[in-house]
Amino acid sequence: MTMTTEALGKPTTAPEANSLAANFMKTPLRDIEKRLPLRVLSEEDFKHWQTYGFVVVRQAVPAVNVERLVSFLWEFQEMDPNNQDTWAGGQLRAHVMKELNNSGMVEVYNHQTLWDNRQCQRVYDAFVDVWDDEHLWVSIDRANLNTPNRDGRAFSGFIHTDIDTTLEPLPVNVQGVLSLVNSDTETGGFQCVPELFRTFEDWKKRQPAERDGFKPDVTGFEVYPVPMKAGDLLIFNSLLAHGIRPNTSENKVRMAQYISMSPATPDDAALRERRICSWNERRAPEGYAFPGDPREWERTKYGAAKLTPLGRRLLGVDLWP
């Protein structure tokens, strides 16, 4: 759910290895006129995407992929899904982005179960639809396992943008989240402000000059919780004000994987090498937003993920033709 902003000269909210640098020279995504035929989205889906800044792709990955990742995340977090007494453990490291503390972030980035979803053809095709570009790289991002927010895990939720909306021209990027469970208003999960996106230019004219470009004033706007089923992928424009809702349920868990794609930048050899090393050595990507796992389980307990031909191109091991 995060992107890199190193190109902006500001603290990054995602690792360099994600290669999601803001694209200043591209047409805003809401103004793209399609050249490529739609692969996954319907015409109605694409209109909703351009108008409100998000779209949900139903059943983006096979159910077996979801089941394997869910099982792995419980194992990695040292929790038993059938024993709530094991759910109260604190996060292993604090987040520099303080709004993420107690939100259930799982510090794992390159496990096979994560890569199985990244290199899923339907997921890739959906990002081709929104970018109108086939030559993409995938983000190396983490997952989320958010148990009920109680017993010292206070979390009130938040709304922000992952790019500075005071900039001119505005950066162009997308983000995504794959739901691993059926979510409702109690379990928490993704929330956004679609009407602010639709009216963004008018809203921006009314804002004070010295406002915080990452924390929009959403007074007067409805904060919309997006309902999702296990296996659904939500793709959203990085200009969309969004965040995570608290888990107010008694015994439900919110689980998700963050997946995004952006146009590949193969000419950046150093960036490409960092991405490949992150995958091969099972290390957290560089960047202040991702503290990593102090146990180093990903590096010491699991091998490098096997990549398909599509996965190798999405990482940058092999170049797009």
Residue by residue, pLDDT tens for the chain (321 residues) are 443 322 222 333 333 344 444 454 578 999 999 999 999 999 999 999 999 999 999 999 999 999 999 999 999 999 999 999 888 766 565 544 545 545 578 999 999 999 999 999 999 999 999 999 999 999 999 999 988 877 666 666 789 998 999 998 999 999 999 999 998 888 888 999 999 999 999 999 999 989 999 999 999 999 999 999 999 999 999 999 999 888 888 899 999 999 999 999 999 999 999 999 999 999 888 765 666 788 989 999 999 999 999 999 999 999 999
Task: Tell me the β-bridge partners of 243.
Answer: 191
Phi, psi (deg, nearest 5) at residue 5 = -125, 25
Which of these, 130, 160, 169, 142, lies nearest to 22 by C-alpha position?
Answer: 169
CA atoms within a 13 Å half-sphere pointing along the CA-CB vector of 15: 22
Nearest to 66 by CA among 125, 113, 107: 113
Q: How high is the pLDDT of residue 288?
A: 58
Burial class (CB in 10 A: 0-12, 13-18, 19+), 294: exposed
CA proximity to 7, closest of 136, 161, 167: 167
| Ordered domains of the chain (ranges, CATH) | 6-315 (2.60.120.620)
Helix (H) or strand (E) holding 176: strand 174-179
Given this model, what pLDDT does residue 152 score? 63
**Pairing status of strand 233-237 against strand 174-179:** antiparallel
* C-beta of residue 60 within 8 angstroms of C-beta of residue 116: no
pLDDT for res 246: 84
Q: Is 241 exposed, middle or buried (CB count within 10 Å of its CB: 0-12, 13-18, 19+)?
A: buried
Amino acid at 292: G
**Chain centroid to CA 18:** 11
Residue with tokens 């692969």: 39
> What pLDDT score was predicted for residue 187?
86
- Given a contact cutoff of 8 angstroms between Cβ atoms, the answer to whether 140 and 20 are in contact is no
